[in-house]
Each structure stands twice: as C-alpha cells, then as structure tokens.
Amino acid sequence: MEDNIRYYKSIDVVDPVMIAAWPGMGNVALGTVDYIRRKLKAVRFAEIKIDPLGALDSMEVRNGLSKFPKTPLNTFYYAKDPDIILFEGEVQPAGRSGIDLLTKVLGVAANLKVSKIFTGAAFPMPISYKDASEIYGAANKELLRDHLKNSGIKLMETGHISGLNGLMLGFAAKKGIDAICLLATMPQYAISLPNPKASAAIIETLNRMLNVSIDIQELNGYIKDMEERMSIIEDKVKDVITIEEEPVELHPHHDKKIPGYIMERIEKLFTEAKGDRNKASSLKSELDRWDLYGLYEDRFLDLFKENQ
C-alpha cells in the first residue's frame, strides 16, 4: 500500500508555523506537541496513511498470544490566532520508510505555505533532576541560527540530533523551509522516563518565540510526580555515574571543592553510623576517597565515644 494523505477538512491558514514531533528520549518532543494540541484545542484536519509493514518492528503479545500491532497514526492538527499546524507521529520509522514519511509531512507544510517548522528533542546531560531544564537550539540556516542566539537561546555547538526530529532540519532546508530544533536538557540517567519538565521548558520558549501564551500549570503536578521517582533513581545511581553540581566550598585550607551530592552522602553516612557502627567503615572510605578525613576526624571519632 502506498503512503497517502487523507484530508478530513480544508483549512484556511495564513503564514502558519508548524510544530512537528515524533517519539524520542524522555518523550520530550511528542509530550510537548501533545500538550500544546490539547491546550489550544487544535482540530484534526489530515492524516498520513502509511504502509503497515513499513513501520512494523515488533509483535504485540497479550495473554500469551501474539498479534500484529495497530498501524501507528500520523496526524495533522491546526489552531487559529495565531495559525499553528501541529503534527504528531506515533512512531519513528527507520531508514527509507522514515524519510518517506518526513517527505510527506514536508509536502503538507509546503502546500500550506508554512513559514517555519519547529521540532523538539531531549538533550541528555550529567545533571540532577533538581536542575532547571535549559534550552539549546539548532537551525538549518545561518540567519535562523543568529536569531536563536539573539533571542538568548544557547546554541548546540556540536553533536547529533537523532531521528526524524533532527532530520527535519536537513530535509526542510532542501524544501526551502526554515526549521529549528529546540533541545531541552534532562538527566542522562533518566532518558527512558517521560520528562515533563523538559517539555515545559520547550513550551515556554515557544511562547516567547511565537508570541503565544500556552499555560503550563497543568504540567506541574506531573513534574512533581516524575521528580519523586527520579529522586529515588538518582540516589541509587550516583555511585556509578557523574552528576554535575555546584561544588561545595569547604574549609579555606582545604584545596578541593566537593560536589553537593557527595556532602549529602557523607551526612547520610554519619547519621547511619550513629545507629550502626558497621556503617563507620563505609563512612571512613568515603572520607578518605575525597581526602576529607582530616576535616571530619573529631566528628568521626566521636561516633565511637557515643557508642561506648
């Protein structure tokens, strides 16, 4: 079956922008567009029908029985004042199938005389879930890149933007359409978890760039729930990954700056060692590892006095 576009209604838009998204790390891009669609009450007007075999990469299993999954949807929506086209793809087809789908999306954009296309993506960093999600930008034209910089958006200096959210930049350029990808930072240890904080950061940036006012208050509860989950994960993985934090200044004669999470861990070990002397060995190892024993020696020895 050939890919084809089914229009449900004709629309009248003037100089619209498009925001397009496919699934990716943290569900950042798709979460952004899905939220905008709901808040703007955008109306479906078209859909790209794709070859079911072109997107097939797994079987669905229920109660021990396998079956072919439903064909993923690729849907266009629109909102007025300002005129915005939204595109949501439920999966990212790989290879030629993905490029064919991307070409179809750009065909619709060209027919509607879309002036600019935005995509989004996650930007995994060695950061904590407590840190704000920062926005970086990449563009497919020098003038657009300079516009990002002048708008106070940090530029993605080097790297890759994987998938169709990134490939859109190159293929839009071939069609003569301006395109920007907004990347939101998120903890690298949590790329498999939804990250509504990153989506909210992209939405706030789009509010400024498009002069719209999309309320993100609804995301706050979701952000809180996810951060409670990430707090548990972060506490477990700190021993095996690097998380950049503002270093803690110690005694003026101590020449090292210690990451905040290390100081938190040491305090936690002191508390545990008060009730369980066996924990003291772990505490001593941590103090030695960071050359802190001399600073904490008296407090460490007091643990044994308290346990006498």
Please give the share of the chain, as a percent, with pLDDT higher than 70.
Answer: 90
Instruction: Read off the pLDDT of residues 69-101 as tens digits, 9 standing for 90 and up.
Output: 888 899 999 999 899 999 999 988 888 888 999
Confidence band of 261 (pLDDT split at 50, 70, 90): low
Q: What pLDDT, on a 0 to 100 scale, did the predictor assign at position 263? A: 75
pLDDT at 3 > cutoff 80: no
Domain 4-231 in CATH 3.60.21.10: no
pTM (two decimals): 0.76
Instruction: Read off the pLDDT of residues 190-230 as tens digits, 9 standing for 90 and up.
Output: 888 999 999 999 999 999 999 999 999 999 999 999 999 98
Please give the Cα distance from 227 to 197 (Å, whole number): 9
Q: What pLDDT, on a 0 to 100 scale, did the predictor assign at position 257? A: 58
Domain boundaries, the chain: 4-231, 247-306
